[in-house]
Amino acid sequence: MKLRSTLQGIICLSYITTTPQGSTLDEALQKSLANLRQLQGPPRPIPPESEWVAAQDNIIVQKPEWDAFATSLTTNMTENPLWWIFHAAGVLRNLSRDVERLALALGGLTEDETWMVFHETFFQIISPLMTEFMVVQQTRSDGRKVRVYQQDQHYFENSKKPLGIMDKGGIFDVSFLRDDWNAQGEAPNPFPRDTLTMRVLVKKLFQDTIEDFDGDKVVFASDERFKQAWNTVWKVYNDLEVFTDKVVKYVDGKKWGPVSGTKPRMVVDVRPRQTREFLRLEIGYEQYYHQKFSEALAAHEIEDPDSKWLAPGFLGRVLNVEDTPNMFVVYGVIINTIYRSVLPFMMDMFADIGVRMNDLARNSVSSLEFNWGVPSTPGLNNLKTLRKWPEWTEGIYRTVAWPIPQEYLQHAIPILEMLRQERKAELERHRNFENQRRPIG
């Protein structure tokens, strides 16, 4: 600011200073400049640009306003969109680890190189989000044994992949130990670990800092990392589209073992998920998750590091058991679940947080940042759409009922519920297979 004032002073003096008799204009300007330097004191270095104006991705808000915003993302977990992204990321890691193991197992069993191509392709696609799928046991300094994630052993021309944003140390680190939200009881704070994790995530995402100006506290915050995370999920979703179609076509109709003919053939359900059937504005985030997505995701909420559910399908094939779960199709079901359930749910949560951020930015004391919190990416940058609680389905944010129009939706609800139950049965059938084969007593 001082640099700008200095330049303005020079310009003004060049016009208002009378040129002394016998002096040239240049001489007059030199004298004016000398007088200005005397007033300004000894020369000082040019201040960095950050001291002139706030960075374009920064806002400055009163501390109480920031505290209210941050509190909404660090408390009341089951109604907190940031916590639900964290939860979905855990599901995504469990699913991704199963995809990795299943592709290797199918490749070894069939000696079909296609599975190795699938193995590497999926890792390439998902790696901007996460790469740490290997679980190893480590002993802490206090003697406690803990399981930690490490990057899976994928080798490329340029050596190892960089860590994803959701890996340990990333801007959306989901490697923290988490609370068991299904067994919280009546504790005053049923999410002690997750509360701390949410605070860390808010700090990492928004890089907020507090400044005190004569007792008036303000907060500087950036949206750059939040938009990076949102864009990364969007990119992974787009890259997964072609891969999902390719996998589904490949596994469709591939035989696994003998069938009795009494059970339906296992298939990958690629039908779009209906929008506006469940309105999170009215029922809240927890019910929105449970009613729209949990039939596909609940089975993968708890980490199964040994993937014991894989063994029965392969054992049944070796023993020629009828109606053994088709592990070719299981692979397609998991890929499709990531594409049509996990990532769309994350996209819904990012949209809601982005709107909250944009509302906060309208109270900025520095300048009006009308697009703060919203990426410039086409399809993600329409605030009018984002404010209508949209649902990410088949590659766009939708604010109307689709594919079944609103006027027919009420009559179609029983059918939609039946389809959800069918998807749940498809995904869990292989998990229950081992128990079904055990003799009673």
Distance CA 223, CA 231 (A): 12
Question: Cα torsion at 414, 415, 416, 418 (round to 10°)?
Answer: 90
Burial grade of 369 (CB within 10 A; 0-12, 13-18, 19 or more): buried
Partners of 364 in beta bridges: none
Q: Is the pTM value of this prediction over 0.85?
A: no
Query: 35 is written with which tokens?
Result: 């007088």
Rounded CA-CA distance 215/13 in Å is: 38
pLDDT per residue of the chain (441 residues) written in tens, 0 to 9: 443 444 344 334 333 444 444 456 566 656 666 665 565 555 555 444 444 444 557 899 999 999 999 999 999 999 999 999 999 999 999 999 999 889 999 999 999 999 999 999 999 999 999 998 887 888 888 888 877 888 877 765 555 778 899 999 999 999 888 887 666 556 667 898 999 999 999 999 999 999 988 888 999 999 999 999 999 999 999 999 999 999 999 999 899 988 888 788 888 989 999 999 999 999 999 999 999 998 778 777 877 655 566 777 888 888 888 888 899 999 999 999 999 999 999 999 999 999 999 999 998 887 667 899 999 999 999 999 999 999 999 999 999 999 999 999 999 999 888 887 877 776 666 555 544 443 333
Tokens for 181, please give them.
Answer: 């939200």
Which among 121, 102, 84, 166 is positioned nearest to 333, based on CA atoms?
102
